[in-house]
Amino acid sequence: MGNTTKTRSEPQTEGQSVAVAAESAKESLPEKAPRNEISRLTMANAEHGADQADRGMRKEYFNGGGAGKFLPPVFKLLELAVAIVCIGLIDDPAHNSRLRVFISTRTVALAYATFATFLVFSVIYLFGKVIRENFPWKLSSLLNLTGFILYLATAACILSDWSETKNRNYWPPNTQRMDFLCGAGSVAVVGALFYLLDLIVTVRLGMKGEIE
C-alpha cells in the first residue's frame, strides 16, 4: 500500500509541474503581445504622419500658390523679349526718317524711352530672382501699371504714324521699313497685354500674401 501511494503521488507532482509551466507560458504571452501591438501602432502612426506631411506639402505647393509664384518671372521674360523685339523693329524706320518721314520724332523718343526703361526693369527683376532678392509686390504692381499705359500709348503713336504715312498715297522705295513700323506697333500692343496680365497676377498674389 505504501508503494502505491508513492507512485500515485509522483504523477500528481508531474502534472502539477506541467500545469504550472502552462500557466506561466500563458502569463508570459500577454506580456509580449502588447509590445508587438505598440510597435505596430508606432510604425502605423509614423507612416500615417509621413503620408499626411507629403499630402500637406503637395497641397501647399499646388493649392497654396506655389505654382502661381512662377507666373511673374515668366511674364518678365516675355516682357523682356517684347522690348528687345520692339527696339529691333523700330530702329531702322527711326534712323531713316530724315529724307522720308516714317515716324515722328516725338514717337521715336517715346518709343525708345518706354522700351529701354522697361527692358532694364525686366533685367533687374530677373536678376533679383536669381539672387533671391524679391521686389515688393506693390512696387511691381505700380511699375506694371506704368508699363501697360506707356506700351499702349507707344503702340498707338507708332500705328498712328504708320497709318498717316500709308494714307499719303506715296510709297517709299523701301516698303520694308513700313512693315517694321507696323510690326513694332503690333508687338507693343502685345507687350501692353503682357503688362496688364502681369499686373492682375501680381496684385492677386500680393493680396493673398503669397508673394512679398
Q: In this structure, are residues 103 and 181 in contact, taking their beta carbons and an 8 Å threshold?
A: yes
Distance, in Å, from the CA atom of 121 to the CA atom of 71, rounded to the nearest integer, reads 17
pLDDT tier at 32 (50, 70, 90 boundaries)?
A: very low
The pLDDT of residue 95: 84
pLDDT tier at 193 (50, 70, 90 boundaries)?
A: very high
The pLDDT of residue 108: 92
pLDDT, tens digit, 9 for 90 and up, residues 59-71: 444 444 456 778 8
Q: Is the pLDDT of residue 136 over 70?
A: yes
**What is the grid cell recorded at 105?**
520724332
Residue, of 122 and 56, whose pLDDT is higher: 122
The pLDDT of residue 19: 53
**What is the grid cell recorded at 137?**
509686390
Residue count (the chain):
212
Q: In this structure, are residues 103 and 90 in contact, taking their beta carbons and an 8 Å threshold?
A: yes
- Chain centroid to CA 160: 38
The pLDDT of residue 1: 44
The pLDDT of residue 93: 86
DSSP 3-state assignment of 188? helix
Q: Rounded to two decimals, what is the model's pTM?
A: 0.66
Query: Which are the contacts of 178, defined by CB distance < 8 A and separation ≥ 6?
Result: 93, 102, 162, 165, 166, 171, 172
Backbone angles phi, psi at 4, to 5 degrees: -65, -35
Beta carbons within 10 angstroms of residue 157's beta carbon: 21
Radius of gyration over every alpha carbon of the chain, rounded to an integer in angstroms: 40
**What is the grid cell recorded at 188?**
507693343
From 89, 79, 86, select the one nearest 143 (Cα to Cα): 79
Q: What is the mean pLDDT of residues 101-129?
A: 92
**What is the grid cell recorded at 39?**
510597435
From 166, 188, 190, 192, select the one nearest 177 (Cα to Cα): 166
pLDDT tier at 191 (50, 70, 90 boundaries)?
A: very high
